[in-house]
Structure 1
Amino acid sequence: MTAKRILLVLVSLLIGALVALFLTFFERYERQLDRGWSAKAIRNPYLAAERFLDARGLETRRADNIAAVAGLSPQDTLYVASSSQVYNGERARELLDWIERGGNAVVVARRGTEGERDWLLEELGVTAETGSGDFFFTNPMRRFIGEEAEEYSGKSASELLREHNRKLREGENTDGETPEDSGADAAEPAAPEPPEDPDVDPSALVTLTSDSGHDYRLHFNPTTLLWHPTLDSEGASGDSDPAFWANMENETAGGDSDPVFWADMENETAGVPFIQFERGDGLLTLMADAGLWQSDRIGHFDHVFLLEQLASDGDFVFLTRPQFDSLPVLARRYAREFFGAGALALLAWLLLRSRRFGPRAAEPETARRSLLEHIAACGHYYWREDRCSALLARYRDSLLRRLGGDNASQKTRRRLCEQLNAATGLGETRITDSLWGQPPHSEEAFTERMRNLQQIEAVL
């Protein structure tokens, strides 16, 4: 066996041994990492609600204007994220007409500024009042460090986290145990994760009872509450039947302007967070909390049960405020198309500039010539076009008319030459050639003739 074959056998045995070791000691495990919300969930706060309804077999879609009511069927459900989107009386009337034909609408009442009209609430006789504002999610750090957040009220989030981390490093805990006290339990299994629902005072919850006898709890934001005159006459606390739609027909009697059901909170007297109206064959639900079904709160308590009960058999249409992506988000999303289009435009420009027909034209002169160069160029042009003789003849005829020498006799010409000779110093021969001689045939002779005529004109 050659050395080459021995080397190949040893390499094969080594590779086989490594594979056997890997298969012997390899252990597969899975770990779940929370990467935060996706870009789609950030753009659409109702994404979790849409996916829940899709899982229940209901079609969901989004709309941007209350005018979408014209295209809804009586079996659909319309969720309006703010009553201000019903921006005039005509739109409010269209919405109520659709409800009377059997539509199901869920509207979040908005508490506007003083003097601002809410057309839908005016039609229903409902006003949005200011509540207590004691909401669990008012302090955002409360979700992460629990009730300890109340100890640091007035501090910024960064200061609050630094203080909390310092206490953790020092070994402090909520039970007041020291690290030595808790060292004996260090080997014990970790405590189970806290429940999904936040620790809210039961008096701040709304409890509804379904027709099957089960109690369902809801946590509304008490910052804004709803008020109707019926609540004043009936009593907003303790007079409404807690049964959830089970005894709606036995609720307050009255016209379409009176609510048929409302849910009250024990610790709130300014109003209620939830009112329902029957309009014709349809149902209108008013809520004071716009975040009940948003993705960060729909999983708490029984919020999703309320959404399922309010949804009808048709499509569920979300009418929310349009949210536009920022410029950096759009740049990242369409960067490939942008640079691709730019590359194609550059290629087309290069192809256009690279094509030409015939020899390359000379670059035009950009510098301006002087006045003397301009006069010289004009003179050469007139000389080439044989216009100098006509120019000389016109100039000479005008001088002869002034001297009275046109068609003059020889005696008169001699007398004029003597007078001009005495005045200009030019010879009589040069004067005669300039005034009555033949046209010149060279540039130098033409220039001399014109100079002589200018001297004669100067003494006249």
Structure 2
Amino acid sequence: MTRTTRALLVVLLLAVLSGLGYYLVQNLHPQTRTLELGPAPEARANPYLAAERYLRGRGLSVNSVRSLEGLDQMPSKGHTLVLLGSRNSITPGQNRQLMSWVEQGGSLIVTAEHLWDDKTGKSGDPLLDPLGVRQYLSKDLDKAPGIGTDGDKGQTQDAEGADTDAAPPAETDDPTRASADDAYPDLTKLYLDNEQAPAYFGFDTEYHLFDSKNLAYAWANSHDTTHLLQLQQGEGLITVLTDNWIWQNDKLDEYDNAWLLWYLTQDSAVTLVYRADSDSLLSLLLRNYPQALLAGALLLALVLWRVSLRQGPLQPVPSRARRQLVEHLRASADFLLRQRGHAALLQGLQRDILRRARQRQPGFERLPIAEQWQHLGRMTRLPVGAISQAMRPHPKQRMSAADFTRQVAHLQTLRNAL
């Protein structure tokens, strides 16, 4: 290839690269894309994680627990307990404990979980039935006796006269302040003093709360149904909701849902109960029968100690008179065989033979090995080959039983002949 051809190829390559670069500059534009990976594992595991962090962000002390264990040690005054989990497994004793906790000044936020049955005269909710709080389906309000279609009429507001150390009560939905044409009939509205516009919440309008004993002094309604009731119990406060889904991660930022959670828990320490399970059997036993458990543990320890004793008579100690010298020699030889192997036993016999030879002929140890074997042959009248085979060093690897026995026989014959 000539120099001119190479120059043309270089110019052509530069032109192609320049054209490609110009095309890329004109047609490629940087873009920023956001990939939605969904909620974090913590949010998927806890549907109320956003509510918990929201309250902490408002400066409240928030604690989350998985059960009602330890309620008897929780202070009442200045404390709000929010039951977010199902209460189906709560025992009657725990319900009484909850009511006692509220009467001592605690604030309890609870969700109505069962519908009222007019035939049986109860809903099966041991916490709300004694308070007269009933839950109906909105579509069944016309069939329910004594209930109108526009909320709990006849209830009177007594928020200003209430004296409680718990969270501030919700104000009633004043029909005189609401517009005749409700622009948001499906939203629950809460009117506050000195406020012209209400707060809006996204409660499920399929449910309605009815205060059959007229104990509620504050409530919040949508167009036709009531979704929040507040009742004073002793020195404390009970807030009943139709649902607490408005505080889950995906609904907390809608309307004023987050504000309602703060409003009901402000100026108090908050405990969120994710699972209102009944006490375990072990916790009930420890709480009510600690002495019986201690006695059972001691009894079990005694039984195990008794069972672990040796069964039957003890073996008598062997008499020392029965032991013979042969047994000791055999035991010593077995010990040396296990610890040092065959070579050590053979070397012991060889040293014994050399010691006897030195006794019969002084200066024997200074002779060369070959002359020592010749002298041993003259003293024992054995062939020199047999003596060399018996007196030569043996390898450290383990010998077979037959070879070891044969070698010991040669050495014993040689020693006996001296």
Tell me the TM-score normalized by structure 1.
Answer: 0.41
Tell me the TM-score normalized by structure 2.
Answer: 0.45
